[in-house]
């Protein structure tokens, strides 16, 4: 048995040290490309630009995983596998918690520090994140006008154009409810999925029945609450985004041409599952 001495932990005998010709950690993760993908443009290079780049690159990686999980959740709902769908939704909620807290790192960037390299961003803006737009689309906030932003990127444009014509996670959930025998109105099931979701008051009585008798379909009741959790987490992410931008640039216009904080504030009025909020007024009334 080996023992540590002087604060040094000896290597165990089984640890591989000769990795020539073997798949190693850096190779599996393609770290050479990942860690060389940060290219500050400020001259001379500003110390804090690396923070700004890494913040947004890591967010894009999390958005990739969110979209992966939301696509899976939709497919699982289509297959009537509600419990597996909820596992994917739960993972998305945890991702959102991570990127909500991540804003606190960017918030260490002061207005003076950001001003020293902001000009190098040109017209680039988070509004141009096609993965963020894809997540919004699959959750129901569809806006065909935003596709114009991606005309110069055919792959991104095609992906978003495809998602625009596909059902949302909420569409898939409501279709599952209909297959379970709940009286989801036919006009909702047959709606034009290219349109953004708007509240359908005629759906509220269907959801109210679920909430009045949770034991009759506990998994469906739990799914409703999980979707509300998902929406709450997304709204918190939007709010932290707004507050971080306001803290860093005040009320300046955004680099992509938006009004900045005002534009972000209006996003807080958007909702993915409005009936799941409205139904609470009916329960117990």
What distance in Å separates the CA atoms of residue 138 and residue 74, rounded to the nearest whole number? 9
Give the largest CA-CA distance in the chain. Answer: 73
What long-range pairs does 276-285 form, CB within 8 A, spacing at least 24?
A: 276/207, 276/224, 276/227, 276/228, 276/231, 277/228, 277/231, 278/199, 278/201, 278/204, 279/204, 279/207, 279/208, 279/211, 280/211, 282/204, 282/205, 282/208, 282/211, 283/208, 283/211, 283/212
Q: Which residues are part of a known binding site for heme?
A: 241
**Contact, 39 vs 57, CB < 8 A?**
no
**Contact, 85 vs 73, CB < 8 A?**
yes
Query: Would you call 82 helix, strand, or coil by DSSP?
Result: helix
Q: Which residues are part of a known binding site for substrate?
A: 52-56, 114, 118, 255
Q: Which residues are part of a known binding site?
A: 52-56, 114, 118, 241, 255
């Amino acid at each position: 048995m080996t023992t540590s001495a002087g604060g040094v932990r000896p290597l165990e005998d089984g640890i591989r040290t000769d990795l020539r010709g073997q798949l190693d950690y850096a190779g599996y993760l393609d770290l050479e490309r990942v860690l060389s993908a940060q290219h500050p443009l400020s001259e001379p290079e500003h110390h804090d630009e690396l923070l700004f780049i890494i913040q947004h690159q890591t967010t894009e990686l999390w958005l990739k995983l969110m979209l992966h999980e939301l696509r899976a959740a939709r497919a699982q709902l289509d297959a009537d596998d509600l419990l597996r769908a909820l596992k994917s939704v739960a993972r998305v909620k945890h991702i959102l918690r991570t990127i909500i807290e991540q804003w606190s790192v960017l918030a260490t960037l002061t207005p003076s520090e950001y001003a020293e390299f902001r000009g190098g961003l040109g017209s680039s803006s988070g509004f141009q994140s096609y993965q963020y737009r894809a997540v919004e689309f699959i959750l129901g906030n569809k806006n065909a006008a935003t596709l114009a932003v991606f005309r110069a990127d055919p792959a991104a444009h095609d992906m978003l154009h495809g998602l625009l014509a596909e059902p949302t996670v909420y569409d898939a959930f409501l279709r599952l409810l209909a297959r379970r025998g709940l009286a989801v109105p036919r006009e909702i099931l047959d709606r034009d999925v290219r349109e953004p979701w708007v509240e359908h008051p005629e759906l509220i009585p269907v959801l109210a029945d679920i909430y009045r008798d949770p034991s009759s379909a506990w998994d469906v009741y739990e799914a409703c609450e999980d979707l509300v959790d998902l929406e709450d987490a997304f709204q918190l992410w939007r709010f932290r985004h707004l507050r971080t931008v306001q803290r860093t640039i005040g009320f300046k216009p955004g680099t992509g041409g938006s009004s900045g904080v005002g534009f972000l504030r209006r996003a807080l009025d958007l909702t993915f599952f409005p009936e799941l909020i409205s139904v609470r007024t009916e329960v117990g009334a």
